[in-house]
Structure 1
Amino acid sequence: MTRREHLPEVLPAPPESGTEARPVPGDPGAARESVPGRRAVALVVGGLAVVLLPAVTLLLGLGAVPVHLLVWAAAWVVVAAAGWLLDQRTPRRWPGWALLAAVPPVVVDLLVGVPVAVALLVVGPALAWVAWRRCTEPALDLAELDVEVAFPVGTGRLRVGRDRVVMAQSTRAGGGHVDQALPLAELALAQPGQVDADAWWPLPGGTGVRVRRGPAVRLVAGRQQWLLPVADPRLVAAIARRRATAAWPQRTGPQTVEAWHALRSWAVARTKTFRDGRQTQAYPAFRALVGFAAAVLGSGLLATAVGRGLTDPGVWVVGVVLLVLGGGFAVWWLRVRARLEHAELHALPPHGPPWGDLRPDVAPLPGWRPWR
């Protein structure tokens, strides 16, 4: 592969050379400087959803709940609370932790005849959703935080985290779609601007983003480049620039084209499955949900066996198998997620040419105008 040759797997590529870009006056942006009490309100509402309400729900049937079930449900509330606290940088997952905290208390209350507890299955995740939205409400102070914030980009979402920016697109027929990411530690350009006419910005691998006429942001990191339509490009650029100053390096390997092929093939295989005889998109995260469900059920069976002094080996075997299976699914997902995140950073093979013209004073596509 020479300097100006892309592998067929990543084509079509944008033009190698752009045209002169004339800066124009842009929208000053409507984002506020800050959201008062952002973190405090999010923590209080999230704690209410994940800790307090499940505990109160469990106390509704306190007089009739066997001790072993009470301990079992309380243990899962603690697990969910610990997961929520450790997952503070990813607010979009908070409703899931609230649901995990809600299920065991609801099951216990239903067993002793307290049907009102079912409301927690809706109230808890809803409050966690409110906390999520409050924590990521658009404002310039998001640049100083390390929480993931998402911006709509057509049918997908641009997720700006502490160390990376992820372009999460909607899935396509046939499956095998892998999100793409830019390492913020390598960010060279975060340029707000506008597109004067509808255009198409290709992404490596035959995908792309339809750029409608209007505001957009241009992101360059390493050899990769994105041109994405967003409602407030100044806000996106400001957050990306500030977080890039404190981002941890993300790019390690692969060092050869062969290793890159192996990594991409593995990632594509993990995101393919078959439904109704047709190949379609797979969602590996569902294995984590299955794992938690199996672990909750298995631990519940073991708690019942201990509390009631059951000697039937079948109950013990099923409980242990479900618990181990649940733990295995959770560990499997953590390992797969880590490698998928690694693959997201390597949409381009090593030692290849840059993705379009990366110069800040040049338009990578006709019609691009940076803002002053």
Structure 2
Amino acid sequence: MMFVRYLVALPLILLSYVGVPFGYLTFNRYLVVGGEDFDFAAEFTKRLTGNDGFWPVVLALLLFAALWWMTTAWPRIALVPSAPIAFMGILTGLIDGWQKIAAGVAAPAIAWGLAWLAAKIVSWPLTGAVRRSPVEVAIGLRGEGRLRVQSRRLLLDKLPPPRHPESPVGRVAIPFDRISHVEAGVVHAPAQWRFGNTSELALSPGPVLRVIGGGQEWLLPVDDVEATMRLVIERTDVRAKQDPRPPLENSRWTNAKKLWELQDKQSMSPNTQKVKHGMHHGMLVLSAMTAAMAGYAVYRMFTGSWGFLFGVLFFGGISYGMARAWASLGATQKLAEENPRPPTADDPDPRHIPVTGWSASPVVLGQTSDL
């Protein structure tokens, strides 16, 4: 059951997001005070419950609550409280000693590892409960690239840089409701496969998963093609949900339309500059920070002076504006990822041979464990 998996993973998340940063702060205190009488547990509790608590921990917990299904984000969230610790540890360690440098470097590494382990516990192995749940499952491809089977779509990231330097996205996606064909096959000779964002993936000989939908065709070199195919099919059947797209004249189609214009163009030389993703998520973090400031101003307004009303309006306005900008940029990127071809484009014919050396391989889905 997924509940049991989360129950096992939750202590690791708390250790990663709460235990590691407050443990570091307590250790830092030990380096300052020293002595055999130092009570680590008491100092840890004091810092954990003190009014001057480390606020990035609260932000990390809120992000985890919002992204409870996105397992690939959990290790990165762990860096929200741990990255400042690493920076300050190295900075102060240059003056105070190597212990602070070592602790500052170890803290984010341990936090990241604990969150990664928690994500693995929730998403692997691929039992029936995982296949039918919304939890994200990340599957590495042979060579470069990663398939992320998410709650409502398939997402390909970590692809080679787009061949065309003007490509606005480095990832592609297919929503479950637009998947029309899933097939297991084998590639007997090395080949290249180009995706809608102009990224090219090297296909090494071996099993390959073929997915068609949303005007796109993917060939994905995965080792356990049977388990991956079953995951995609079952989650598509259970979690496919229509997601209406805005009219084509909407400004959110800007990046997608740029991709459509690049399809017939060829870059003069291979592009080595990857498209940076997730930069707009910084706006969400800033929104959360300013929202906390606005909340504090509300508290001070009712317990102190009405002059804090200015802080409520100022920080609240910034928080609202950042949240709207984050949502707008995210929606624009999502449309481009899911529509590298125009919505009017037909799906590729599954009867044609996609690459030289391709052959379909029959897969008996019932052979996979359904625990």
TM-score interval, smaller chain: 0.5 to 0.7
Partner residue of 1:273? none
Partner residue of 2:53? 73
Partner residue of 1:98? 78
Is residue 120 of structure 2 the alignment partner of residue 133 of structure 1? yes
Is residue 161 of structure 2 the alignment partner of residue 171 of structure 1? yes
The 2-side partners of 1:354 and 1:245 are apart by: 19
Uncovered stretches (5+) of structure 2, i.e. residues with no partner: 30-41, 261-270, 301-309, 363-371
Partner residue of 1:6? none
Partner residue of 1:83? 63
Alignment of 1:153-164 (within 5 A): 153=141, 154-164=143-153
Partner residue of 1:149? 137
Flag the 1:348–1:250 CA change in 2: closer, same or farther, 3 A: farther
Give yes or no for contact 2:17–2:81 (8 Å, CA) kept in 1.
Answer: yes
The structure 2 residue matched to 1:283, chosen from 276, 284, 293, is 276
The 2-side partners of 1:254 and 1:295 are apart by: 28
Shift of 1:59: 6.3
The 2-side partners of 1:288 and 1:100 are apart by: 12
Greater per-residue helix proportion: 2
Give yes or no for contact 1:175–1:281 (8 Å, CA) kept in 2.
Answer: no
The 2-side partners of 1:133 and 1:181 are apart by: 22
TM-score (norm 1): 0.66
Greater per-residue strand proportion: 1
Is residue 102 of structure 2 the alignment partner of residue 122 of structure 1? no
What secondary structure, in the 3-state scheme, does the structure 2 residue paired with 1:363 have?
coil
Shift of 1:150: 1.8
Alignment of 1:1-372 (within 5 A): 38-55=5-22, 70-102=50-82, 115=100, 118=104, 119-141=106-128, 142-153=130-141, 154-168=143-157, 169-172=159-162, 174=165, 176-178=167-169, 179-253=171-245, 262-265=254-257, 280-289=273-282, 292=285, 328-329=321-322, 331-355=324-348, 357-359=349-351, 363-372=353-362
Shift of 1:219: 0.9
The 2-side partners of 1:298 and 1:36 are apart by: 31
Shift of 1:370: 1.8
What secondary structure, in the 3-state scheme, does the structure 1 residue paired with 2:151 have?
coil
Give yes or no for contact 2:161–2:275 (8 Å, CA) kept in 1.
Answer: no
Flag the 1:35–1:194 CA change in 2: closer, same or farther, 3 A: farther
Shift of 1:228: 1.6
The 2-side partners of 1:257 and 1:326 are apart by: 29
Shift of 1:238: 0.5
Report the RMSD for the aligned CA atoms in angstroms: 5.0
Uncovered stretches (5+) of structure 1, i.e. residues with no partner: 1-33, 269-277, 307-316
Instruction: Give the share of equivalent positions with the same residue, in percent.
Output: 23
Q: Which amino acid aligns with 2:191?
A: A
Flag the 1:250–1:340 CA change in 2: closer, same or farther, 3 A: farther
Give yes or no for contact 1:140–1:235 (8 Å, CA) kept in 2.
Answer: no
Flag the 1:140–1:107 CA change in 2: closer, same or farther, 3 A: same
Partner residue of 1:271? none
Q: Which amino acid aligns with 2:344?
A: H
What secondary structure, in the 3-state scheme, does the structure 2 residue paired with 1:262 have?
helix
Q: Which amino acid aligns with 1:343?
A: A
Give yes or no for contact 2:72–2:138 (8 Å, CA) kept in 1.
Answer: no
Give yes or no for contact 2:215–2:342 (8 Å, CA) kept in 1.
Answer: no
Flag the 1:64–1:89 CA change in 2: closer, same or farther, 3 A: closer
Shift of 1:160: 1.0
What secondary structure, in the 3-state scheme, does the structure 2 residue paired with 1:209 have?
strand
Shift of 1:280: 5.0
Flag the 1:366–1:44 CA change in 2: closer, same or farther, 3 A: same
Flag the 1:332–1:258 CA change in 2: closer, same or farther, 3 A: closer
The 2-side partners of 1:91 and 1:117 are apart by: 26
Shift of 1:243: 0.4
> What does the per-residue CA deviation read over 1:216-274, in whole Å, with 9 as the maximum and x for residues that have no partner?
00112243321221111111111000101122434433555998963524789xxxxxx
Q: Which amino acid aligns with 2:135?
A: V
Flag the 1:324–1:156 CA change in 2: closer, same or farther, 3 A: farther
Flag the 1:134–1:244 CA change in 2: closer, same or farther, 3 A: same
* Structure with higher RCO (Cα < 8 A, 6+ apart): 1
